[in-house]
Chains A and B, each alone.
Chain A
Amino acid sequence: MKSNVDGANLGESLKGKTGRRYWKSLEQLAGTPEFQKWVDDEFPHRSTLLKLDRRELLKFMGAGMMLAGLAASGCRKLPEHRVVPFIAGPEDYVPGKPVYYASIATMGGYATGVRVKTHEGRPIKLDGNPNHPASLGSLDARTQAQVLDLYDPDRLRMPTYKGDPAAWSEFFAKAGAKLEELAPNGGSGVVLVTQMVGSPTLHSQIQNFLFRHPAAQWVQYEAASRRNMIEGAAMALSPVTESHFRFDLAKVVVSLDSNVMMEGPAAARYQRDIMAGRDLGSGRTEMNRVYAVECAPTTLGVIADHRMPLRASLIPAFTRALAARLGVAGIGAAPAPAGVDENWLAAMARDLAANRGASVVVTGDHQPGTVHALVHAINEHLGNFGTTVVHTNPVLPKPTAEITALGTAVEQMKAGQVQMVLVLGGNPVYDSPADIDFKGGLDNVGFTAHLSMHDDETSGACQWRLPLSHFLEAWGDGRAFDGTASIQQPTILPLYDSKSEIEFFEALIGGAREGMEIVQDYWRGAMGEAGFDVRWHTALGDGVIAGTQLPAVQSQVLQGLGQAIAQMDDDVASGYEVVIQPDPTVFDGRFANNGWLQELPKPISNLTWDNSAQMNHDTALKLGVEIDKKYGFIPADREADMVHITVDGRTVEAAVYVNHGMADGVVLLHLGYGRTRGGKVLLPLRNKPEDHGGGFDAYRLFRSGKNPWMVVNGARFEMAGKTYPLANSQFHNTIDMTKVDSDREILEETTLSAFLSAEPVEHHENPTLYDEDMASGVIGKSNTSVEDMGWNDPNQYQWAMTIDLTLCTGCNACVVACQSENNIPTVGKYQVQRGREMHWIRIDRYYAGDGIGSEWPVNDPVIRLQPVTCMQCENAPCEPVCPVAATVHSKEGLNQMVYNRCVGTRYCSNNCPYKVRRFNFLNYGNHDDVPVKNLLNNPDVTVRGRGVMEKCTYCVQRINHARIEAKKRGDKIKDGEVTTACMDACPSRAIVFGNKSDETSRVSKLLHDKRSYKLLDHHLNTRPRTVYLSRVTNPNQEIEA
């Protein structure tokens, strides 16, 4: 590993770029012309088909007009349409009105409550269920996107046997016969492989099956399991329990390389609780304080008041040092690991000690069990047990994934001791650890079947490929992180000939009950016969079964734990360490065929369609990534260098992505990519592999050993000498900062103490520079003066939005919610590379920090996030430039985009300083080739065609519905009656929407909050209706000083 750092040249272009400027990438900090092209040109990478001069252009225009005349749409008869009424109308059904159902989505065995919006029997959107403890009404991006999976055209449609269509009855006859044959030995030789099972009904069925076939094996496996957490609890706690956190009661939160807001079964809930403790919106004057020590930037690290990059392998030492500072028994003296500021650590420890019973220390699922155990000891020592840390019995019947059992089962398969393998869900051929050859095992078994939504890697290795129902098609049940049980109710009949796991088991044991009966029978047994019908229907309506939350259990840390941990040796990296994590969007690979998630920019890195080897700039240099000789840094706008990473003789080839803010020497890989089978979205295009992501398969480095998530020592790195195009949306739609006088026009931030002592700011309206003559020139509004435009006419609703930058974590829930609500298409990797993604909301990520100082400062920059969507400017620059008046102002202050008027000049987009308009270059929303995807469209929103500009509408369809309903009541729209999709989804409650002419509305109050500021308004006088609330942090004075 020879470093090729060219010392003389390193950071040359960044010299002198000091001061707290915000920058999206080093290119912007250095001001390279390549970057400026992205800023200046609204549509970079557009290419002309022909190089035309003026005369030729006129010729083509003439020919075009002639052809257009020939094909004039007025000359054809409109096609005949049919209306098909019901035979018997469903009860309470009103045509044209959506119906909502409460259900659950399950991941890792834990349920999250969802509210399913259905239109004419089609589920079209998932929202959170306000009654459900894991959701409280908001929903993370991954769960929301699962509605797209339902309509995935690549789903398995019928059972097949060795590739030939077969019938379910055929399968059950064969499987039944096989089980009968093995019955004399008690079912020895039968292996069931499931994902994490949290459903009480399914678990009882599996128990029933195992009762009938006592020698059969049941292996529960999921790659992203909470094995270390369970191991830590087993090491530290008596009785062994599962911990939940009451972040709403916490004044100090310390994250030791975790992201409780993105991982685990209560992520959205924890995000809500942590951010509620930071919300200054309702006159609160207190904030919690978050410390994050982490190897790579997370959403929790971004909102943290103090963030420290630290190697994942140093976290055990850091935790011990923290425990020692706090005086946890048995730890003794422990030095802070190298590179950690002793004062920082001591100040954090004092802060924790000062908030006994009101603090939480958490660690990540990838940290070893010892860290989890020590964190338990710290929490107990701080008096948090019973207040902010609550213990319950484990929620899942089998709380952990059984990697060892999986390995044993595979050994038995290979030894020919297994006759029958039933894989229910999951994809173990793809996601089992690299040293477990699940496929090799399957090949050696006489009867193999895989129940799966897609024909994936595991299906490919099995004889029977059985279609699995989507959770929106089937009955089921599940438990939330705190044990609250819910019924999963279907909202549509199965689209294909598929079965759920529950129906599968019923048929396997020869039963004939339908899905609903099975679930009902279980709960009739659990709840009792008395009043069951009423309780059942209440549970369905509420989305939770009342009183099923697990009771808190008193749990204590074992004596002598401190001593035991103090004596343990850490595995400390001598070179570079590899950290493996589930992908923030496609997770363990199960969502790899979901276009919404593939195209969703990953939090902080803004990468789409691929995974990468992420590391900081120094590490990349040392590994041998070429710096740009001219600028002296690794540019992010060129093709990424590839690196070979070898662990235990297995090599992956990964593109290097420089992620500023990572700890030195850490290489972060995400699972979930490198899929080879299972759909069109996840596979590279055959003819143009470079146009499609797909990434690399990090499972090749995922080992079954003690801690699969980290390769502390023993990873070898070698530059591959190749490059790979990553589709990174970080350059796209960059606000031009060179013309802004002060960064305060972009991002304002302050500290809590400064905020509390600050004088209220007088919010004066800027004098108008709006050209009245120009305004009066708007087509069709010939006599409209500026006053008549109705800005702030208090007799009308005046819609406005506030986005609280204190609360935004960049989790992307709003982006998917908007995509789902507004029929926003995905465009594919190739188009994203050209900056043509269609998301109406983007989350800008800025870094701040000096360009070049004493050391390379970009290794620990300040990271800031800002969601940007159409600002609905009162003085909108897009409006006067539209030659066809396709974008005009409404009386309610909306900047209307009239799709059917738009001729696609793109002038509006060119004139938009916020760069929030999206142009549909290639009819991305057209699903004629896959008609099933049309079922997903929200019928209240136009599906835009090619050549049309689009942008955020403030969810005008929802405003219109509310307005009509209010008018019918003879009333005004009440505050909170209209919510935008992004606002609903946001787990942090950072977005508030409402009517600003109502002085009592929440948004009015927030608009007058002294934190409010308008993006670029001082500079351009655009008078945006979307107003930001500046970011407030609550730093520890001792550390700041």
Chain B
Amino acid sequence: MAQLFRPNANTYATVSLIVGALVPFSIFYFGSTITRSGYNTGVGIPLDQPIPFSHKHHAYELGIDCRFCHTSVETSAVAGLPTTEVCMTCHSQIWTNNPLLEPLRVSLESGTPLEWVKVNRLPDFVYFDHSIHIAKGLNCNVCHGPVQDMMITSKGRAFHMSWCLECHDNPEKYMIEYKKGDEPRKQVFELYAKLMAGDKLTEYEHFLAEGEFREIPKDKAHEGVKLMEARKINKAQLADCYVCHR
């Protein structure tokens, strides 16, 4: 009887063993890559808004403070969106005939509010509070990405819980002063002041402006710890479930 397998069968066997071992890993790898990509999370994908509002133009080029429009960011859980009248503060005077602003004018005239598409949304069981994060000196870009560079606003982070916990577990690794001695809530907006003034940024600030999320440099670690204590951040309690879920 002739041999059932030719010599090259060995090769087939080896290859299929390797492939067979790799396939689950690849599926897992691709699956998780897709889940974590902007395709699924929406990070970095500009959304179609009624008016193509540019943060880059308003916040960076014109230097309007975040809080001019997001009025309640320091006092409330939600930052708030500008009312039609707030937009009209300027746009009743400038760009009054711009067709892009037609929906704004219609809104004021007809009394129907603008409907913006929500960019950052947390699940219903997550209770995030803007005001406390501002009060503890956290820059907007940490969570929202390079807002000052966004022509059309997109999501800056996927808001995975593990990402939240990086900071909530070890807040000292993300504590930094942009301007020595300022109170924490002023620190928040210091980065933008520097950007606007064209000041030289430290490496960390540079990455933050680019929208990259990283720990403070190792050599500044002791400063982070000091800042955490100065800002009375209760590290022990910060990772309790009930802080965000209730």
Contacts and interface: CB of A to CB of B under 8 A. Distances in A.
B121 A87 contact: no
- Output the residue of A78, A940, A967, A970 with the most chain B CB within 10 A: A967
B245 interface: yes
A88 B83 CA distance: 6
Contacts of A898: 241, 245
B191 to A, nearest CB: 21
Interface string B99-111: 0000000011001
Interface string B74-117: 01111011111110000000000000000000011001111111
Contact of A968 (B42, B117, B124, B132): B132
Contact of A941 (B86, B123, B132, B246): B246
Contacts of B131: 964, 968
Interface string A521-553: 000000000000000000000000000000000
A84 interface: yes
B242 A94 contact: no
A97 B76 contact: yes
Interface string B193-230: 00000000000000000000000000000000000000
Contacts of B124: 942-943
A94 B72 contact: yes
A82 B127 contact: no
Given A894-B242, A942-B125, A82 B85 contact: no
B77 A96 contact: yes
A367 interface: no
Interface string A961-996: 000100110100000000000000000000000000
Contacts of B65: none
B175 to A, nearest CB: 15
B69 to A, nearest CB: 9
B129 interface: yes
A28 B61 CA distance: 77
A1035 interface: no
B242 A953 contact: yes
A85 B82 CA distance: 7
Interface stretch (A567-575, A692-700, A885-893): A885-893
Contacts of B118: 80-83
A796 B237 contact: yes
B245 A95 contact: no
A901 to B, nearest CB: 8
Contact of B84 (A88, A942, A953): A88
A89 B83 contact: yes
Nearest to B87: A85
Contact of B127 (A74, A78, A940): A940
A960 interface: yes
A86 B81 CA distance: 8
A942 B118 CA distance: 20
Nearest to A958: B246
A10 B187 CA distance: 80
Given A82-B115, A956-B246, A96 B84 contact: no
Given A87-B107, A95-B80, A957-B127, A81 B121 contact: yes
A84 B121 contact: no
Bin the interface of chain A by size: 35 or more
A702 B123 CA distance: 54
Given A83-B116, A890-B237, A953 B83 contact: no
Contacts of A795: 236
B234 interface: yes
B151 interface: no
Contacts of B125: 899-900, 942
B232 A970 contact: yes
Interface string B123-148: 11101010110011000000000000
B35 interface: yes
A891 B83 contact: no
Contact of B246 (A74, A84, A953): A953
A394 interface: no
Nearest to A822: B246
B166 interface: no
Contacts of A25: none
B22 interface: no
Contacts of A941: 246
Contacts of A78: 42, 121
Nearest to A93: B72
B23 to A, nearest CB: 17
B78 A95 contact: yes
- Output the residue of B121, B124, B240, B246 with the most chain A CB within 10 A: B246
Nearest to B78: A96
A812 interface: no
A900 B35 contact: no
Contacts of B108: 87
Contact of A86 (B40, B42, B84, B241): B84
Contacts of B242: 890, 894, 896, 953, 956, 959-960
A94 B73 CA distance: 10
Nearest to A77: B40
B78 A87 contact: no
A256 to B, nearest CB: 48
Given A87-B108, A967-B232, A96 B240 contact: no
A716 B136 CA distance: 75
A876 to B, nearest CB: 14
A790 interface: yes
B243 interface: yes
A796 B236 contact: yes
Given A80-B118, A790-B236, A941-B246, A890 B81 contact: no
Contacts of A74: 35, 40
A89 B84 CA distance: 9
Contact of B241 (A83, A84, A896): A896
B246 A940 contact: yes
A877 to B, nearest CB: 19
A896 B242 CA distance: 6
Given A95-B76, A891-B236, A900 B132 contact: no
Interface in B152-210: none
Given A94-B75, A968-B131, A87 B245 contact: no
B132 A964 contact: yes
A894 B241 CA distance: 10
B85 to A, nearest CB: 5
B76 A87 contact: no
Contacts of B35: 74
A956 B241 CA distance: 11
Contacts of A957: 127, 246
A898 B246 CA distance: 7
Contact of B113 (A77, A84, A95, A956): A84
B83 A85 contact: yes
A960 B245 CA distance: 10
A88 B81 CA distance: 11
Contacts of A968: 131-132, 135
Contacts of B136: 967
A86 B72 contact: no
Nearest to B113: A84
Interface string A286-306: 000000000000000000000
A742 B118 CA distance: 59
Contact of B117 (A80, A88, A967): A80
A574 B117 CA distance: 76
A83 B123 CA distance: 15
Interface of A: 74, 77-78, 80-89, 94-97, 790, 793, 795-796, 888, 890-892, 894, 896, 898-900, 940-943, 953, 956-957, 959-960, 964, 967-968, 970
7 contacts: A81-B121, A85-B82, A89-B83, A888-B241, A940-B127, A940-B246, A967-B135
Given A87-B108, A795-B236, 17 more contacts: A78-B121, A80-B118, A82-B117, A82-B118, A83-B116, A86-B113, A87-B85, A87-B112, A88-B85, A94-B71, A97-B75, A890-B240, A890-B242, A896-B241, A942-B124, A942-B125, A964-B129
Q: Which 6 pairs from chain A and chain B are nearest by CB?
A: A96-B78, A890-B240, A85-B81, A96-B76, A81-B118, A95-B80
